[in-house]
């Protein structure tokens, strides 16, 4: 590579899908991410959970969301449960 060639600047990693996020009513620090192309699991019924927001590929992830763990959770279960781990969150309680 000659000195006149430059590498493209690194791009922030984007997640590979859009998730629908659901918040647990009794424990609001607990969230469930379900890819929008998957069915919503029955346990996410309105009595215990509420729809929070859509998390798109370029959106900032909430504190506690781990993309690698999300991919594994979705692969094995069809959803990803995670807990907000910091006071600064991308989601309003």
Structure confidence at residue 10 as a pLDDT band (50, 70, 90): very low
Give me the sheet containing 19-24, strands edge to edge.
49-55, 19-24, 30-35, 80-83
Q: Classify the C-alpha dihedral 15-17-20-25 as positive or negative.
A: negative
Which stretch of 14-23, 26-35, 45-54, 80-89 has the lowest confidence by average pLDDT?
80-89
Q: Are strands 19-24 and 49-55 parallel, antiparallel or unpaired?
A: antiparallel
Instruction: Report pTM.
Output: 0.77
73 Cβ neighbours under 8 A, 6+ residues apart: 33, 79, 80, 81
- Which one has a higher pLDDT value, 3 or 35? 35
């Amino acid at each position: 590579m000659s000195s006149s060639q430059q590498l493209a600047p690194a791009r922030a990693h984007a997640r590979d899908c859009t998730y629908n996020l659901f918040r647990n009513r009794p424990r609001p620090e607990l969230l469930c991410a379900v890819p929008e192309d998957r069915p919503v699991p029955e346990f996410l019924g309105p009595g215990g959970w509420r729809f929070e927001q859509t998390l798109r590929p370029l959106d900032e992830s909430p504190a506690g969301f781990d993309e690698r763990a999300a991919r594994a959770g979705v692969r094995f279960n069809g959803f990803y449960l995670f807990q907000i781990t910091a006071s600064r969150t991308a989601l309003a309680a």
